[in-house]
Structure 1
Amino acid sequence: MQIDQARFVHSFVEDLRGEADAVNRPRQVPGYCYSAVAPTPVRAPRLLAWSDELAAMLGLERPAGRGPGADLLAGNLVTPSMRPFAARYGGHQFGSWAGQLGDGRAISLGELEARDGSRWEIQLKGAGPTPYSRHADGRAVLRSSLREFLCSEAMHHLGVPTTRALSLVATGEDVIRDMFYTGDARPEPGAVVARVSPSFVRFGNFEIMAARDEHDNLRALAGHVLRRHYPELGEPSEAAYLALFEEVCRRTAVLMARWMTLGFVHGVMNTDNMSILGLTIDYGPYGWLEPYEPGWTPNTTDFGSRRYAFGQQPGVALWNLSKLAAALTPLVTGTDGLLAGLETYRSTYLRAYGEGMFRKLGLAPRDPEADEALLDGLHAAMEQSQVDMTLFFRGLSTAAPGLMPAEGSPEPAFRRLVAEASYLAPDAPEHAAMLDWLGTYLGRLRAEAARPEEIRDAMLAVNPKYVPRNYLAQEAIEAAEAGDLSRLEALMRVLRRPYDEQPEHAAMARKRPEWARTRPGCATLSCSS
């Protein structure tokens, strides 16, 4: 079925109170959960990229490059079954309350029913202004849209809970953007990405209702989320609201553990960028650890405080959950149940992160004190040796099991591993701590009951060879801007199988090249899109 022939349904719109004023002018929208709004047509829609896997799940066929399908995915075609809207939410941005925010450039078309009966909301990002656009134009550039399309699908194939991306469409129009807010605004090609998720409800949807004392809307929103996404928790009640919060805490903890074990940095963990379903949402200035550096963030807006740096992410998620807890207080009696949810986050994160790291190392947890010391030593050694996190664990997956039955010194093999993964010189003195740690680790590995080949295969299954590195994305962006989509298509093919060797594509698994170390779009990004 072509998407322009699909029938959309509308649980969010039907369950919640929305304003019918479809005038796309920025304004405060008190008393409503969403605004009805129509996408703004663009000059020349053209399909650039399509997720075949996601489309198959939704029962959709790939549309032609130009035509009704591309028109719909750009916002030029609104079919009779659609009821497009922009959601109202608030949020804490960089630790401060920002008031009303909302979908400033995202317009939801409705939900499609997948082959398995599940419902998925289709949202166009970059489809024009809404009442929540404030001073912006509601558009998005190709650079940021391609990055979101790429990373959404890559994260899914890595096994990370995430929103998805169905399509990337060029608009045929330029958008004026100042990439680093330096006064150097210039035209860039525009694009629209179709994002897909069971729901785009965020912590901020609840925050704005609580902040404005809209307790009826707050209760209705909680009821919608319970009935549509957590029916196993029961009908809306105080007990169900507390159970909902605890489950959101649990899912968020698992998500943070996945980010941290893979070396993913979101870059802008505002509360309006936190999913009520525990999904990775809003791919902006993200990045992947190349030299292991807990204080690294790709977001130039955050260079002053590094609030959202890699190592800060688990703590920020807890802080964000505390703001969600505060927003839910009008629905419950006392705070004990909400505090219990926050404790669930802490315990779940520690357990999930520890288990994830030990799977990466091919080890079974043994003694809590010794296990903690082993991981602490690893983190310190990775930082000191400046190893590429992805390359280090992938290399370790084959190097260490191969040494389990061997006699003689493992040092030559470990030196090769460190040299291949590190951004320092092979003989740098900073490698001493890593070499010492590897010796300790090998002793622990040799005590495992499993055979070396079993450990190797298990490690390869959790330590990816390919991740969407920023320099690879930037190369694909520059080629796409010049009309060449082959780099994006090749990169997407590789990222669909991130744990496979794919030797013909080994160049995409190399260390970040020196030219990309300080290049905009590779090492430095911003929230501009």
Structure 2
Amino acid sequence: MPLHIPFDNSYAALPTDFYTAQNPTAVQSPSLIAFNDDLAKLLGITAGDVDEQARVFAGNVVPDGATPLAQLYSGHQFGSYNPQLGDGRAVLLGEVIGTDGIRRDIQLKGSGPTPYSRSGDGRAWLGPVLREYVVSEAMHALGIPTTRALAATLTGQPVYREAAFPGAVLTRVAQSHLRVGSFQVFAHRGQTEQLKTLTGYAINRHYPDAKGPMDLLRAVCAAQAELIPAWMAVGFIHGVMNTDNCSIAGETIDYGPCAFMDAYAQTRVFSSIDQGARYAYANQPNIAVWNMAQFATALIQAMDDKEAAVEEATAIIHAMPAQLEAAWLRRFGAKIGLSAPTPADQAMIEDLLALMEQNGADFTNTFAALGTPVARDQFSDPNAFDGWATGWQSRLQGAPDAAQVMAAANPLIIPRNHRIETMIQSALANDYAPFERLMAALSDPFANSDPALCKAPVPSEIVPATFCGT
């Protein structure tokens, strides 16, 4: 059967103030790298053959029912406001309602220039496309809300960055591509009617129980307060938590210079563009609150009683740190075997993390090994871990399900930077075996299906910096 996508588009029905109608730009010689059959089935997509998939998901063929467009938004980038950004290298094909009843966007990323490209070429090269494909699907397997990857294609033409690289397109799936910046652009322009329209659309699409803008703010804050501790519990560092990369749907979005920690360090930064460590590992909860404050500021601009709105929004934002702390304690409590951790357990968790940092312990492997004799081997001073473990074992006396709780909370494998770099370099040589191996292992991160991929890097393998790819 030919490829068929059952589009049911709603964003395209909004006024054209919100987007620019824009077809993807055809490429020279599209070829398929990967297609996510399981996700396609969830979306109700009839897969078609490989050649047809390549043509559609590289942008050479606009499928029936699509309404291609580039979305408008603005955003704070590293704390500084940029009044107009928008989809500079992406085209939203449209939306589908999956077999689970959830509406999702299908977007081509790297599909050519748009009116928001700001002199860019609108393209992506192979490395960032494969990185996002692998990391987003790994996050999904870890149970963390995220955009997903439906397809990756080669374009058959080069992309020029610091050198010439193979061009590629990622087909990204998201519950929507609405961001904090989607609201900021209209608030900044004083376009209150557009802001009200977008607020109503977001409520109807994502939080239908919300009674108005402040309920929307409360719901998005709650979603972000669950998301960021979920990142931290697997050692994930987003790297570019700008407001234009902050999803209203509460999903992880825009995997640019992201990374997973090897050795634990609170101040760990990988993003080459984060010179001030604004988005360091331990800063992520504070940045989430800051981003939500910007969201609140935008929403208030369209409200009639601004004084009352400011008071209510302030209370919502001020409540968020406690939400983050509670979610963090729940996540990290589970990592040490506590299904119902109490505030008194926080010191024990923080003591372990401090020992890990002092002793160069690998984040993922330390937690995966808890309860086994090899856990102490992660520490340069194993005796330091032994001292901590004595108190921990005493605490677990009242937690008979500790082993099961830890097994469900502690992945054995993450997409480590050095493995991703090896995968990319192999793909540049037209060898996709490392990509396929990673995808297979990461599809079940709580099962030790490929022990070699679970190993931390040796010093010569460490990748100290990651890059955005634009």
Into which bin does the TM-score normalised by the smaller protein fall? over 0.9
Quote the residue 1:47 is aligned against: 32
Deviations 1:158-192 (A, max 9, x none): 00010111000011111001xxxxxxx21000100
| Contact in 1 for aligned 2:22/2:69 (Cα 8 Å) | yes
Deviations 1:100-128 (A, max 9, x none): 01000010000122223332110000000
| Contact in 1 for aligned 2:128/2:468 (Cα 8 Å) | no
| Contact in 1 for aligned 2:33/2:152 (Cα 8 Å) | yes
Does residue 444 in structure 1 map to residue 377 in structure 2? no
Report how far residue 64 of structure 1 moved: 3.2
Report how far residue 233 of structure 1 moved: 2.0
Deviations 1:237-270 (A, max 9, x none): xxx2111100000000000110111110001000
| Contact in 1 for aligned 2:338/2:399 (Cα 8 Å) | no
Report how far residue 515 of structure 1 moved: 2.1
Quote the residue 1:500 is aligned against: 447
DSSP 3-state at the match of 1:112 = strand
1:306 to 257, 266, 277: 277
Identity %: 39
Quote the residue 2:313 is aligned against: 338
1:169 to 150, 153, 157: 153
Task: Describe the shift of the 1:361–1:42 C-alpha distance in structure 2 as closer, same or farther (beyond 3 A).
Answer: same
| Contact in 1 for aligned 2:266/2:280 (Cα 8 Å) | yes
Does residue 283 in structure 1 map to residue 255 in structure 2? yes
| Contact in 1 for aligned 2:182/2:244 (Cα 8 Å) | yes
Report how far residue 381 of structure 1 moved: 0.9
Quote the residue 2:357 is aligned against: 383
Rounded Cα–Cα distance in structure 1 between residues aligned with 2:49 and 2:421:
26
Amino acid at match of 1:225: A
Quote the residue 1:358 is aligned against: 333
Report how far residue 343 of structure 1 moved: 3.0
Report how far residue 363 of structure 1 moved: 2.1
Larger Rg: 1
Deviations 1:488-526 (A, max 9, x none): 112111111001122xx1101001132222xxxx32112
DSSP 3-state at the match of 1:48 = strand
Rounded Cα–Cα distance in structure 2 between residues aligned with 1:280 and 1:490:
24
Amino acid at match of 2:83: G
Task: Describe the shift of the 1:366–1:212 C-alpha distance in structure 2 as closer, same or farther (beyond 3 A).
Answer: closer
Amino acid at match of 2:247: S
Rounded Cα–Cα distance in structure 1 between residues aligned with 2:11 and 2:25:
22
Amino acid at match of 2:175: P
Report how far residue 297 of structure 1 moved: 1.2
Amino acid at match of 1:12: Y
| Contact in 1 for aligned 2:57/2:171 (Cα 8 Å) | yes
| Contact in 2 for aligned 1:35/1:87 (Cα 8 Å) | yes
Rounded Cα–Cα distance in structure 1 between residues aligned with 2:247 and 2:411:
25
2:43 to 30, 50, 58: 58
Aligned positions, number = 466
Rounded Cα–Cα distance in structure 2 between residues aligned with 1:2 and 1:516:
44
Quote the residue 1:27 is aligned against: none
Quote the residue 1:242 is aligned against: 214
Does residue 270 in structure 1 map to residue 242 in structure 2? yes
Amino acid at match of 2:7: F
Q: Structure 1 stretches of 5 or more lacking a match? A: 19-31, 178-184, 235-239, 400-412, 423-427
DSSP 3-state at the match of 2:151 = strand
Does residue 134 in structure 1 map to residue 118 in structure 2? yes
Task: Describe the shift of the 1:490–1:233 C-alpha distance in structure 2 as closer, same or farther (beyond 3 A).
Answer: same
Rounded Cα–Cα distance in structure 2 between residues aligned with 1:132 and 1:149:
24
DSSP 3-state at the match of 2:398 = coil
DSSP 3-state at the match of 1:498 = coil
Rounded Cα–Cα distance in structure 1 between residues aligned with 2:213 and 2:53:
40
DSSP 3-state at the match of 2:205 = helix
Report how far residue 286 of structure 1 moved: 0.6
Deviations 1:297-334 (A, max 9, x none): 111111x3100110110001111111111101123332
Task: Describe the shift of the 1:375–1:49 C-alpha distance in structure 2 as closer, same or farther (beyond 3 A).
Answer: same
Report how far residue 432 of structure 1 moved: 4.9
Deviations 1:438-479 (A, max 9, x none): 22212212x2241xxx32122111100011111111111112
2:404 to 445, 453, 457: 457
**Correspondence list, 1:378-527, <5 A:** 378-396=352-370, 398-399=371-372, 413=373, 416-419=374-377, 421-422=378-379, 428-429=380-381, 431-445=382-396, 447-450=397-400, 454-502=401-449, 505-517=450-462, 522-527=463-468
Amino acid at match of 1:210: A
| Contact in 2 for aligned 1:154/1:496 (Cα 8 Å) | yes
Rounded Cα–Cα distance in structure 2 between residues aligned with 1:76 and 1:89:
26
Amino acid at match of 1:444: R
Report how far residue 367 of structure 1 moved: 5.1
Rounded Cα–Cα distance in structure 2 between residues aligned with 1:227 and 1:367:
36
Report how far residue 2 of structure 1 moved: 4.6
1:222 to 184, 189, 199: 199
**Correspondence list, 1:47-196, <5 A:** 47-66=32-51, 68-177=52-161, 185-196=162-173
| Contact in 1 for aligned 2:25/2:59 (Cα 8 Å) | yes
| Contact in 1 for aligned 2:237/2:260 (Cα 8 Å) | yes
Rounded Cα–Cα distance in structure 2 between residues aligned with 1:130 and 1:449:
56
Amino acid at match of 1:60: I
Amino acid at match of 1:388: D
Quote the residue 1:182 is aligned against: none
Rounded Cα–Cα distance in structure 1 between residues aligned with 2:6 and 2:46:
14
Quote the residue 1:325 is aligned against: 296
TM-score, structure 1 length as denominator? 0.85
DSSP 3-state at the match of 1:442 = helix
Quote the residue 1:22 is aligned against: none
| Contact in 2 for aligned 1:246/1:344 (Cα 8 Å) | no
Report how far residue 7 of structure 1 moved: 3.5
Deviations 1:201-230 (A, max 9, x none): 000000111001111111110011111222
